């Protein structure tokens, strides 16, 4: 079983890291439809979560994203989602645990094929959108997802939501021998219970780079201010930017500068 020490990013203390990962969702274009700014965004990141064709992306886009990630020395992650291209994987779907297992395995396998071609390795696995929320809230779904990761790529880190909202999924993963990395979202608002606020709520998505950068520094230092209530404590290994955010490149640049000013170095996830 993975130890707690194995899960921590390099730190000077339990609360304040010296390095932190910056990841973004990418590879989301589909055929003639372009989404995101991967070429401009990748130089600012240390890791990427690649769409695998179910919620976004296609085989050619995925292969190109793998090659681009390798060129920039990024940690490469699988980003399995619901089979929902129209809804971008952000709508709830009533998949059974068996279907979640199969969908996750199918998508991870697709990425593994291109990683083999490009002689690259898989750093992490992170569910997308509504599936990400589902596996944090539904124990059977979380178990099915973790089983797929364990069977295909047991050496990869599983990304979970930092804070109390991710503890159950983290425990499920660790019970299966998986390494866990904790994630926070500088350009998303939080509820008082530590979950991501619904995108339907006003102010749930943050587009101001300066505000996102301030939040990123707070998260790296171990806290986040929710929409209501008191500050929440977090222990964070990686910060996420959504690649479809129209200001993703500006946000990534602002976050990188702000973290550097605080003495934090960006680096991919460690073992």
Provide the residue count of the chain: 271
Cα(90)–Cα(211) distance, rounded to whole angstroms?
24
pLDDT of residue 271: 61
Do 172 and 139 form a contact (C-beta atoms < 8 A)? yes
135-151 tens-digit pLDDT: 999 999 999 999 999 99
12-27 tens-digit pLDDT: 444 567 899 999 999 9
Residues of the chain with pLDDT under 70: 1-16, 271
Residue matched to tokens 């170095």: 265
Do 226 and 190 form a contact (C-beta atoms < 8 A)? yes
Query: Domain locations in the chain?
Result: 4-266
Cα 99 to Cα 111, 131, 144, 148: the distances in Å are 19, 12, 9, 11
CATH of region 4-266? 3.20.20.370
Do 48 and 75 form a contact (C-beta atoms < 8 A)? yes
**How, if at all, do strands 75-79 and 47-51 pair?**
parallel
Token readout for 55 is 């919620």
Do 255 and 216 form a contact (C-beta atoms < 8 A)? yes
Burial of 60 (0-12, 13-18, 19+ CB in 10 A): exposed
Token readout for 43 is 């130089």
Cross-strand bridge partners of residue 79: 51
């Amino acid at each position: 079983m993975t130890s707690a020490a194995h899960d921590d990013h390099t730190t000077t203390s339990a609360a304040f890291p010296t390095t932190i990962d910056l990841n973004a969702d990418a590879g989301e274009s589909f055929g003639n439809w372009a989404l995101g700014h991967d070429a401009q965004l990748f130089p600012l990141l240390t890791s990427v979560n690649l769409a695998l064709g179910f919620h976004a992306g296609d085989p050619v886009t995925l292969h190109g994203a793998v090659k681009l990630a390798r060129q920039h020395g990024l940690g490469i992650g699988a980003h399995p989602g619901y089979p929902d291209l129209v809804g971008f994987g952000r709508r709830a779907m009533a998949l059974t645990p068996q279907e979640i297992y199969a969908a996750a395995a199918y998508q991870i396998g697709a990425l593994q094929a291109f990683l083999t071609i490009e002689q690259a390795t898989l750093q992490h696995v992170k569910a997308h959108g509504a599936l990400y929320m589902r596996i944090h809230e539904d124990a059977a779904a979380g178990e099915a997802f973790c089983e797929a990761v364990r069977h295909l790529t047991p050496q990869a880190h599983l990304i979970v939501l930092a804070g109390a909202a991710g503890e159950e999924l983290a425990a499920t993963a660790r019970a299966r021998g998986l390494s866990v990395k904790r994630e926070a979202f500088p350009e998303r608002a939080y509820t008082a219970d530590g979950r991501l606020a619904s995108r339907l709520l006003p102010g749930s998505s943050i587009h101001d780079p300066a505000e996102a950068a301030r939040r990123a520094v707070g998260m790296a230092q171990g806290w986040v201010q929710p929409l209501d209530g008191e500050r929440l404590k977090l222990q964070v290994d990686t910060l996420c930017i959504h690649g479809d955010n129209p200001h993703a490149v500006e946000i990534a640049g602002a976050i990188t500068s702000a973290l550097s000013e605080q003495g934090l170095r960006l680096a991919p996830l460690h073992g």
